[in-house]
Amino acid sequence: MGAYILRRLLLVIPTLIGVMIINFTLVQFVPGGPIEQVIANMQGQGDVTRGFTGAGDDASRGGGGGEERYIGARGLPPAFIEQLEREFGFDKPPLQRFLDMMWNYFRFDFGTSYFTSKTVIQLIIERMPVSISLGLWSTLIAYMVSIPLGIRKAVKDGTPFDTWTSGAIIVGYAIPGFLFAILLLVLFAGGSYFQWFPLRGLHSEAEVVAQMSWPEYILDYAHHMVLPTIALTISSFATLTLLTKNSFLDELRKQYVVTARAKGLVERKVLYGHVFRNAMLIVIAGFPAVFIGAFFGGSLIIEAVFSLDGLGKLFYEAALARDYPVIFGTLFIFTLLGLIVGIISDLMYVWIDPRIDFETRES
């Protein structure tokens, strides 16, 4: 197992470099750039692409200065444009900028945002509480509901209970997340019906929070998290429930289950003493990957609807503003975490079922 883990760890570096090369190359062909953003803001345009000529003028390509490359820069002195390029590092060739960027990233120096004067790490830490809250609670609730429901559906396979629960979770899966979030706001957050939950934010106003005791603070936090957590979780029930059901059905048809029942074991002992461990292998071992997926990728729309400042919204805003240090810094961090989580998932497989040997399978 040690040799397998070492090989996986050694693959992390080339995988990271490959992902960064692809994304860095693609960015070179995207219209607009940080300099165009600055020029547009100075002239009140507010559009990063208005200053783009469409003829290879993106500052991120590392070309030299010169206002002829920026339509929006007319009237601005060329020295000012050259100064912007030096500050953003666009006076260097793309290859040199990429190598410098990767050298800094491998030393965990992710740079500073072009527009907020905060480091990428600071921005991530500021947005982390929202994303952790959404990812953690939605994942835990999904597992707490889907695993018992999936087991019950496997035991009651083909019965009316199995049929109507399948219909319900598939309908929940089919409803777009943003539409369900808006529906929750209309029904329960002061829309046309009830005002049971807050409309936005992770906590109440700062002056109110300052006067709360810690139990009141926890209740206030939970009160704010109810609607966004439900909106983010509803679509994950179907996949996890059906995966649990199918895993249990496969195990229930195996010979050792027939033997256990023939020995006179009660059904509960058969299910949770023998079947559960084998059936839950793929479900439980996949928990880290599911959590990371909800943590980083599944909350952008929910964050927008409920006015929450999380990592999804941070990446989206950075992409709109062409804030390259934030874009590439978060991409590097998320990719690295995803690769590490993949290794952790494999270790969980072995921990749950020691019979699994990845080294033997590879050979």
Mind listing the pLDDT tens digit for each residue in 73-101?
555 667 777 777 777 777 788 888 899 99
Question: Which residue has tokens 């084998």?
Answer: 278
Residue 352 tokens, joined: 């749950």
Which uninterrupted H or E stretch holds 41?
helix 34-42
- Residues 180, 256, single domain; the answer is yes
Domain membership of residue 116 (yes or no) is: no
What pLDDT shows up at residue 332?
Answer: 92
Instruction: Give CA–CA dist 38/73, Å, rounded.
Output: 10
User: 187-233, pLDDT tens digit by residue?
Assistant: 888 767 778 888 777 777 777 777 888 888 888 888 888 888 888 88
Give me the number of domains the chain comprises. 2
- Residues 205, 286, single domain; the answer is yes
Which of 61, 96, 131 is the C-terminal boundary of a domain?
96
Q: Whole-prediction pTM value? A: 0.73
Question: Which residue has tokens 């090989």?
Answer: 7
Q: Which of 272, 48, 298 is nearest to 148 (CA)?
A: 272
- Residues 49, 150, single domain; the answer is no
- If DSSP codes are grouped into helix, strand and coil, which group holds residue 212? coil
- Residues 91, 217, single domain; the answer is no
Looking at the DSSP assignment, which residues form a beta bridge with residue 112? 119
Residue 46 has pLDDT above 60, yes or no: no
Instruction: Give CA–CA dist 284/344, Å, rounded.
Output: 12
- Residues 141, 220, single domain; the answer is yes
- Residues 64, 169, single domain; the answer is no
Which of 63, 96, 129 is the C-terminal boundary of a domain?
96
Residue 59 has pLDDT above 50, yes or no: no
Give residue 353's pLDDT band: very low, low, confident or very high (50, 70, 90). Answer: low
**Are the C-beta atoms of residues 260 and 251 closer than 8 Å to each other?**
no
Looking at the DSSP assignment, which residues form a beta bridge with residue 189? 195
- Residues 187, 227, single domain; the answer is yes
Residue 53 has pLDDT above 70, yes or no: no
What pLDDT shows up at residue 86?
Answer: 77
* Section 244-249 average pLDDT: 86
Residue 4: alpha-carbon gap to chain centroid: 27
- Residues 193, 315, single domain; the answer is yes
- Residues 88, 133, single domain; the answer is no
- Residues 219, 350, single domain; the answer is yes
Domain membership of residue 53 (yes or no) is: yes
Domain membership of residue 287 (yes or no) is: yes
Residue 144 tokens, joined: 């707490």
Instruction: Give CA–CA dist 176/182, Å, rounded.
Output: 10
Domain membership of residue 36 (yes or no) is: yes
Query: Lowest mean pLDDT: which of 35-44, 185-194, 313-322, 342-351?
Result: 35-44
What pLDDT shows up at residue 295?
Answer: 62
Domain membership of residue 280 (yes or no) is: yes
* Section 322-336 average pLDDT: 89
Give residue 305's pLDDT band: very low, low, confident or very high (50, 70, 90). Answer: confident
Which three-class secondary structure string do you get for 55-78? Answer: CCCCHHHCCCCCHHHCHHHCCCCH
Domain membership of residue 106 (yes or no) is: no
- Residues 222, 260, single domain; the answer is yes
Domain membership of residue 139 (yes or no) is: yes
- Residues 19, 147, single domain; the answer is no
Q: Which of 334, 332, 303 is nearest to 316 (CA)?
A: 303
Residue 325 tokens, joined: 């240090």
Give the DSSP letter string of 113-165.
-TTT--BHHHHHHHHHHHHHHHHHHHHHHHHHHHHHHHHHHHHTTTSHHHHHH
- If DSSP codes are grouped into helix, strand and coil, which group holds residue 43? coil
* Orientation angle between helical segments 94-106 and 324-352, nearest 10 degrees: 50
Which of 47, 80, 96 is the C-terminal boundary of a domain?
96
More confidently predicted of 292 and 222: 222
- Calculate the average pLDDT of the chain: 78
* Section 51-72 average pLDDT: 41
H helices, E strands: number in the chain: 19, 0
The CATH number covering residue 338 comes to 1.10.3720.10
Domain membership of residue 299 (yes or no) is: yes
Give residue 181's pLDDT band: very low, low, confident or very high (50, 70, 90). Answer: confident
Residue 257 has pLDDT above 60, yes or no: yes
User: 127-173, pLDDT tens digit by residue?
Assistant: 888 888 888 888 888 888 888 898 889 888 889 999 999 999 988 88
Give residue 15's pLDDT band: very low, low, confident or very high (50, 70, 90). Answer: very high
Residue 264 has pLDDT above 50, yes or no: yes
- Residue range of the domain that includes 45: 2-96
